[in-house]
């Protein structure tokens, strides 16, 4: 029996390698593998926070249902809703392959969207995960206190490990 996708949870940290690659951490890599046809990572900008959102290609199948829910909610509460614009927003993600070790190259336009430098912090979010430039995460409020605390520790550990090499 094959393992089923259970969502993304936890936190992880990755430094960019000398070859310009990041590494999708094991827990996130395994979850992406379970939620994609092949080893393909999808990344796009988060709609409210200054970070990126990651997911596997299977999530794309949920987009029509998301659009239906959002359209129904907008109608119910008398808000404007442009289905075409929202569909473009949902489908404006970049795909990138990753190898067995989780290494991938992030496209420049996605790095620019997330203001990504040489480090990434990953935060599980259930059906998706967020990918942060740590400096931008540290600017966030108390609502992300746990993520910020985890990022500080993981960043320190990653930098110490990097210096030993």
Domain limits of the chain? 11-59+96-164
Q: The tokens of 147 are what?
A: 């993520």
Give the end-to-end CA distance of the chain in Å, rounded to a whole number: 40
* Mean pLDDT of each 10-residue bin along the chain, 165 residues long: 81 95 93 90 96 95 94 95 94 95 96 96 96 98 97 94 67
Give the 3-state secondary structure of residue 96: strand
Of 19, 7, 3, give the one whose Cα is nearest residue 124.
7
Please give the DSSP secondary-structure letter assigned to residue 61.
G
Residues whose CB is less than 8 angstroms from the CB of residue 137 and which lie 6 or more positions away in sequence, other chains included: 51, 121, 144, 147, 148, 151
Arithmetic mean of pLDDT over the chain: 93
3.40.50.1820, 3.40.1550.20, 3.40.50.1110, 3.40.50.300: CATH of 11-59+96-164: 3.40.1550.20
CB 97 within 8 A of CB 20: no
How many whole angstroms separate alpha carbon 120 and alpha carbon 137?
Answer: 10
How many whole angstroms separate alpha carbon 84 and alpha carbon 13?
Answer: 35
pTM: 0.90
Task: Identify the pLDDT of residue 1.
Answer: 42
Q: At what angle do helices 63-76 and 83-90 cross, to 10 degrees?
A: 140
Task: Identify the pLDDT of residue 37.
Answer: 80
CB-based burial of residue 14 (10 Å sphere; 0-12 exposed, 13-18 middle, 19+ buried)?
Answer: buried
How many whole angstroms separate alpha carbon 11 and alpha carbon 59?
Answer: 20
Task: Identify the pLDDT of residue 85.
Answer: 94
Task: Identify the pLDDT of residue 5.
Answer: 84
């Amino acid at each position: 029996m094959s393992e089923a996708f259970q969502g993304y949870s936890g936190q992880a940290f990755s430094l960019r390698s000398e070859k310009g690659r990041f590494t999708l951490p094991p827990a996130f890599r395994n979850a992406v593998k379970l939620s994609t046809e092949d080893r393909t990572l999808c990344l796009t900008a988060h709609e409210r926070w200054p970070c990126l959102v990651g997911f596997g290609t299977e999530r794309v199948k949920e987009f029509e249902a998301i659009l239906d829910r959002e359209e129904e909610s907008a109608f119910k509460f008398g808000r404007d809703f442009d289905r075409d614009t929202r569909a473009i927003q949902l489908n404006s993600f970049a795909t990138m392959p990753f190898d067995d070790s989780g290494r991938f190259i992030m496209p420049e336009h996605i790095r620019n969207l997330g203001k990504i430098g040489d480090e990434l912090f990953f935060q599980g979010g259930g059906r998706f995960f967020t990918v942060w430039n740590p400096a931008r995460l540290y600017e966030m409020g108390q609502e992300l206190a746990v993520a910020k605390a985890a990022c500080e520790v993981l960043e320190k550990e990653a930098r110490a490990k990097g210096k030993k090499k």
